[in-house]
Structure 1
């Protein structure tokens, strides 16, 4: 095998690259860096980098010497999973809707874009560092936004207030009026003073709810200032919302943070000299990611973070360090519970929480739909077809709950794509995890940064699977793109180490 690899490599090197081939190779690597820089911040820029990179890679095959293709451990199962997904889409209850979702399913090619086009371990290191550094941009944004506040949080709302009569209460944050973002109470007064027969629509934030209240125009109270006219005692900037980064969705942000946090921790614990500028920067990044993750107030992602951290530490540090880490985690746990109570008014496990009972309801309904027909078990109902047929299937408590998805990777994949597709998905992640495990436990000496990336990938996968028990994070494009990128980097490391003679064949 090694002789054949050397022969293929020498044959590749003896054919001189044309200038066009060199430009294309450089452009593909540039797309990889653009992808890494955009992934934590912008889905549009990330997908643009992916599509441009894929096109350039295909064009590159037209020029000599053609790019070498490397096999990865997941090739057959990943392709089979995509094929079953396609079969399910074409046989869906809503074929056109499900076929349209195949673009999101094709994001798996990100694995190959990275695994096949990363030219060296040095580029792997730089890409991992770029991903971590880029994520700090949204962490600084989150910190700045939280410190400055936004919208209008009202206090001392009198019963005579037009806001109170519409349903607004003390502590509510007025975010928008008639679709326009609010910065001060005078803007509310201006909206209510307009000569319009239709009431003003005020969007508020109350814990994690965002209802819209209709306030009649011309109902202002007498007074010389906006506070008197609105019937409120005081106002301040709101700081109660759940952090979303640049995504606009707190669960998406939390899941991406969990993956990148695990990668950062893996690199930090692998760093030989932690009392260095590199160790200090990684520690700052780790603290920033952890703080931003806490501000998302997303319990499943917190649990995923705890699992990924435990896995990484168990694989990399001594017992004494584990004890110290456990002691340091106690204040974080209490801080998380306090934030959870303040921002969402629920406990970590709370049967009175609507999101908990909602999940229990859709899990029960989804499982019943899955086993109701053999075709559902075999090929599923088709991606997103539930959005058109939930009424006839009696889903979401017959419409009394917001319709959406099953809030679980396992149930969602089985229901939409069939049980065989779910089995392939589990096999896919098992093979990926086994590859990481065998490389980490091989006993072979490898550069510390590469080990850190593999360690972070393994911990991040554990966290992803944990939160995926109650979230459909596999269906979140922003999240899965980061997961695929890290997977591609891991396979590139495995390939480069294999080529350098660090074989895994003797590893159990």
Structure 2
């Protein structure tokens, strides 16, 4: 197997497991980087150049400067080590610079997203993850990570369906793929419900190997196999079929998550997809909102309040964040310092004595790293959204769903990138999702799609940049 195919397989595995395991995702990222480095050294690849290089470099450098001026530079530098995840953006551009690679990796991503929403739905109905203190989280460490990624799955699936050329059809191999996923999810849920202990292969092992580990490994291997499979399968209809399942199941999982910022982000992302593809379909989104207000389901209506402790705490922590910015406007408090310094800025009316972060992307970045770093982040977001918009409009022709042209269908990754970026920006008004490693890696993965499309055109034109 060539280095290029190895990198493709690893990236497809990463795209599948980003929804279920941060450890597996970061392990695969390092493996893919090693393969990419080998290709760079052997001059079989060139590092991609994009319009986002400037804001990314400025954001990273200012973060390191902020860490150096922190009250605890060692702790801040450790927190700033997350900057290495930005390499995923460039790695994905290089890997997905062909239509075949792009479709197969995104098929793996939709499979992983379907796994996440299936697990969260079963956890809610069968495993007791149905209260605010115990919300469904799949295999992730926190329900906020799960709801943020579920939001991304919904937007990704909607973009795929919006620019699909034909109705999904079930290939025999598609059936086997879905059956395998269903069995794996059922077995995993059953072992969790039964409380079956992990398997300890050696007395020296601190932690055993449980069903979760086997599930993640199986999903990674399946994603990699999808990318390097011989023949025409998986076909484009495979991704469409997975999207057709992931969209309604993802919407249900979002409702069950009881996470308001993810609801807001999903609505914003879906509205963006509708505006680009067919603005007249916005009435469907409006109809869904009206239906919610008419039927008033308790799961949703109980969360539509500003009188709970969570809402009050956000208000007072935002006030504390403003005070932090006024105190240190240039370099901020330092990456990872909010938890440490919050008691000094906490307003006495705040319900909670401590806050690990400020539940707002812009406020968190400004308070941690200073106002210049906020400017660089906004520059990055605006440039990424602008480029995604242009790529999406390049191919998104008018017409009825499931009758798009080939050029229109090929633009769906750019539409997905635009929708996800808008969703993350909207949800980030009430949650620091840019600091969530799981969500950040998914954002970097999807944000690269427009540049992968551009790189493909450049390579076809004979320009290796």
> For the superposition of Structure 1 and Structure 2, which TM-score range results when normalised by the shorter chain?
0.7 to 0.9
Any gaps of 5 or more consecutive residues in structure 2?
A: 171-236, 397-404
CA distance, structure 2, for counterparts of residue 25 and residue 500 of structure 1: 17
Higher normalized strand content (fraction of residues): 1
Q: Does the CA contact (< 8 Å) of 1:391 and 1:398 recur in 2?
A: no
Deviations 1:338-359 (A, max 9, x none): 2134xxxx441x2321111000
- Which of residues 127, 132, 137 in structure 2 aligns to 1:208? 132
Question: Larger relative contact order (C-alpha < 8 A, sep ≥ 6)?
Answer: 2
TM-score (norm 2): 0.77
Quote the residue 1:106 is aligned against.
84
CA distance in 1, matches of 2:371, 2:270: 31
Counterpart residue number, 1:246: 139
1:251-400 aligned at under 5 Å gives the runs 251-274=144-167, 276-277=169-170, 278=237, 279=240, 281-317=242-278, 319=280, 321-332=281-292, 337-341=297-301, 346-348=302-304, 350-372=305-327, 376-394=328-346, 400=352
Contact kept? 1:34, 1:49, Cα under 8 Å? yes
Alpha-carbon RMSD: 2.6
Matched, 1:117 2:113: no
Matched with 2:189 is none
Does residue 421 (structure 1) correspond to residue 400 (structure 2)? The answer is no
Q: CA deviation at 1:247?
A: 1.1
Matched-pair contact (CA < 8 Å) for 2:97–2:453: no
Within 2, Cα distance between the matches of 1:386 and 1:415?
A: 8
Provide the aligned length of Structure 1 versus Structure 2: 387
Whole-angstrom CA distance in 1 between matches of 2:348 and 2:116:
34
User: Who is 2:191 aligned against?
Assistant: none
Partner residue, 1:453: 413
Q: Are residues 294 and 88 of structure 1, via their aligned partners in 2, closer, same or farther at CA, if it must alter by over 3 Å? A: same
| 1:50 aligned partner | 29
Greater share of helix:
2
1:368-395 Cα offsets, whole Å, 9 max, x none, are: 12112xxx21111101223333334446
> In structure 1, what is the equivalent of residue 382 of structure 2?
430
The aligned residue for residue 193 of structure 2 is: none
Equivalent residue for 2:451, pick from 484, 491, 500: 491
**Partner deviation per Cα, 1:198-253 (whole Å, 9 max, x = no partner):** xxxxxxx9x424xxxxxxxxxxxxxxxxxxxxxxxxxxxxxxx4221111322111
Quote the Cα distance in structure 2 between the aligned partners of 1:443 and 1:127. 20
Q: Distance between the aligned counterparts of 1:333 and 1:495, measured in 2?
A: 45
How far apart, in 2, do the equivalents of 1:28 and 1:396 lie?
53
User: Which structure would you say has the larger Rg?
Assistant: 1
1:33 offset after TM fit, Å? 1.2
Shift in CA distance, 309/69, structure 1 to aligned 2, threshold 3 Å: same
CA distance in 2, matches of 1:386, 1:54: 31
Quick check: 2:266–2:423 contact (8 Å CA) kept in 1?
A: yes
Instruction: Name the counterpart of 1:238.
Output: none
